[in-house]
Amino acid sequence: MSKANDAIRQVARGVLMGAADVVPGVSGGTVALLLGIYTRLIDTVRSGAGVLTALLRGKWGETWDRLRRFDWWFAVPLVVGIVVAVAALSSVIDELLAEEPEAMAGLFFGLVAASVVVAWQIMNRPGIGLALGALAVGGLFFWLLGLQSGPVADPSALVLFGSGIVAVSAMLLPGISGAFVLLMIGVYPAAIGAVDDRSWADLATLGIGAVVGLALFSNLIGRVLDRWHDPTLAVMVGLLLGSLRVLWPWPAGVGVISRHADEAVDGTGLGWAPAADLWLPAVLAVAAASLVIALSRLQRSPA
């Protein structure tokens, strides 16, 4: 009975992580830290990568041995919870992206802006050098994002595959959102649409990319963070800062986050709205940022 109870708790944790991962700016890794399962999560991912590596090398005995030692009671219920949350929330978010694009852009802007603070606070020794490096990366990325004009329309299988690799790698990092990475590279609308429309071919391509990303980068991410923790986070902070350009609600965010052609506008410009239209995106941005900061403080507070 204890294993059944543990499985139910794991499903609940997976739902929380999935809800976080489907929204740009909220990191499933941060939620895992908050729930006290981050270390076990990384260990399980590394163990799964070992199974896949042994299988691809044709080492059947080693594969079977690793499968027997794999933490199934942790992984399977967690994945079930994540899938349930993503499937349940994708249609809601897709509808809101179509009906309230400026408001959603404001919401995402607040989430990502707060993630800058969270990622900075994770550093062991933040300083002026790291701040200048983050600003330089942010400025360069801000400029580069001005060269693109909106979301990737009807991305190819190769683009979806690569997006799965990149997004799942980001999802392993506390403070960095996999959904945000998809948004940053213009694939988020297509990914949300694929889930909402049950486009199994696109979902399978994303999923295969995610599995490959886990196999390739789970160990690498751990090693890079262990060896160059603060510089790596400084680069991430810079990317988050620069990405705020595509989330600005007037008019950039509309073009980047909406998959509906009749509502997409040029994603490179930075405009301003009439005073009457400012309040909802602004309120949502402040509320979203406050939620992320509160979760971060709760995660760091002593038990």
What's residue 213's pLDDT?
Answer: 81
For residue range 208-256, list pLDDT tens digits in order. 888 888 777 777 776 777 788 888 888 878 877 887 777 777 754 544 4
CB 261, CB 189: distance < 8 Å:
no
Question: Is the CB of residue 171 less than 8 Å from the CB of residue 218?
Answer: no
- Range 188-226 burial, b when 16+ CB lie within 10 A, else e: bbbbbbbbbeeeeebbebbeebbbbbbbbbbbebeeebe
| Rounded Cα gap, residues 103 and 263, in angstroms | 13
**Identity at 244, one-letter amino acid code:** L
| Per-residue confidence (pLDDT) for residue 301, from 0 to 100 | 55
- Kindly report the pTM of this predicted structure: 0.64
Burial of 70 (0-12, 13-18, 19+ CB in 10 A): middle
DSSP 8-state assignment for residue 151:
P
Residue 145 pLDDT class (50, 70, 90 cuts): low
* Digit-coded pLDDT (tens) for 91-142: 787 777 777 778 887 887 887 788 788 778 878 888 899 999 999 988 887 8
301 contacts 124 by C-beta, under 8 angstroms: no
Looking up tokens 């990384």 gives: 42
